[in-house]
Amino acid sequence: MPDPTPVALISGASRGIGAAAARCFAAAGYDLLLLARSAADLAALAAELAPLGRRVETLALDLADPAAIGPGLDQLCGRGLTPSVVINNAGMAYTGSLAEMPLEQWQRLMQLNLTAVFQVCQALLPRLRATGGGHIINVSSHAAHHAFPDWGAYCVSKAALGSLGRCLAAEERSHGIRVSTLTLGAVNTPLWESETVHSSFDRRAMLEAERAAEALLYLAQQPATLVVEDLTLMPAAGVF
């Protein structure tokens, strides 16, 4: 029997790195389960991918709502596709001092960048275990390893995400589940246009989303007998 078609679940899939990854994985022969807040943007992306002949299932889901994540993933996976690769890409950034950051902004950032990843993994682990394994890839930032003024909450969330990935890998290794982290320098995405981000960086010198997507595919296509635990891509121009 031929090998089953691989399936990639991608969060934050409607734009930026997530949309680039959807295009990259579809071109490589993956069926897709795509999550994002905007149903319209997901529908447009699915229509764009249609000529590639892959199956694409989408769900509008706000990962800032903890109560919606489990039921939403059950609904999406209930359509007949089980992911072999899970890409936790969705997230947000916030610029401002820790001393003055509103608690609600802190909680929202931690929900999106950390807790939602935990919830997505927890909801999908039974399905991955039932199929004999899988690969979870978390998209992180070099901010996990550095302290940048006015980026404190973001740095904390990404450092914690790295620890979550390592702990999850240790617990799930016996179930055939691998966990990788893609650590990125600044990437030219719509994140820089968010209302919670204020910066004057030269976006032309940043990584392109397509390069990040190619790195995600590289990680996903490694044989099941090995795992790249952390792959780092940085702009040649250096740290932003």
> Residue 206 — left, alpha, or beta (φ > 0 → left; ψ -120 to 50 → alpha)?
beta
At 99 the three-state DSSP class reads: helix
How far apart, in whole angstroms, are the C-alpha atoms of residue 6 and residue 83? 7
Exposed (0-12), middle (13-18) or buried (19+): which is 103, by Cβ within 10 Å? exposed
> Residue 12 — left, alpha, or beta (φ > 0 → left; ψ -120 to 50 → alpha)?
left
- Count the residues in the chain: 240
At a CB cut-off of 8 Å and minimum separation 6, what does 72 contact?
Answer: 35, 59, 61
Q: DSSP character for 9?
A: E
Q: Which residues are catalytic?
A: 154
How far apart, in whole angstroms, are the C-alpha atoms of residue 1 and residue 3? 6
Side-chain-facing half-sphere of 198: CA atoms under 13 Å? 6
